[in-house]
Amino acid sequence: MFFAAMAVIGIVASPGTLRWLENYSGEVSNIALLVISLGSMAVGVPFTLQYAREQVPREFWDDPRFLRTNYCITGVWGAAFGVAAIAGAYGDLVLHNSNNLWTGWIIQIAAIIVALQFTRWYPDVVRARARREQGLPGPEEPPVSDMLLPLAGYLTPVGIVVLAFGAGPVWLGTALIVVGVLLVKSLNRPSAAGPDAGDRA
């Protein structure tokens, strides 16, 4: 409904309103998604619940762990939208540059990567803990490195972008590339040693 309303406003709005939307539509959208996330948690139906139910058998829908997991995931998405909104607003209102690579792209993409990876990683953690509590066999709890690996890999292309577009000093771009490569190698090492490393890879 929100994005439909934005589309209608875009069609009928005055030139001045359109110019305002061109500058601030990203922040408005992220703030709206943050409010939706927090609002869905406040009414007891975290917005990830409808997507999770498509992947989980019905008999688990009333399990408190299932609901708690979706509260956590929805909260992380809300935080990601909040970070994106703050970064965009800083670029627009403080730097007066809506196309700033850091505030308009790099930071916002990083926030989404964290939320996506947490959404993939955390349910496996909850399932592993539940099996352990019940004394059932199964895969071990996935390490935090599994969640952080894509974010570490993101540092290298960010470093390349910094060097290619002059989005920072040369030393920063070089450092991001080197740190990204080293972190990926370091985070990959524990998984490679595990018995189910092939499945995670």
**Tokens 């601030």 correspond to what residue?**
24
pLDDT tens digits, residue range 105-163? Answer: 999 999 999 999 999 999 999 999 988 888 888 888 999 999 999 999 999 999 999 99
Q: Give all strands (DSSP E) within 122-197, no chain letters.
A: none
Are 155 and 177 spatial neighbours (Cβ–Cβ below 8 Å)? yes
Looking at residue 190, its pLDDT comes to 52
Q: Alpha-carbon Rg of the chain, whole angstroms?
A: 20
Looking at residue 110, its pLDDT comes to 97
Cα angle, residue 200 at apex, residues 195 and 201 outer, rounded to 5°: 105
* Domain ranges for the chain: 24-142, 143-192
pLDDT tens digits, residue range 65-93? Answer: 999 999 999 999 999 999 999 999 999 99
Q: For residues 106 and 173, what is the distance between their CA atoms, to the nearest angstrom?
A: 13
Tell me the pTM: 0.85
Looking at residue 98, its pLDDT comes to 85
Cα angle, residue 166 at apex, residues 163 and 108 outer, rounded to 5°: 85
Task: Provide the 10 A C-beta neighbour count for residue 152.
Answer: 19
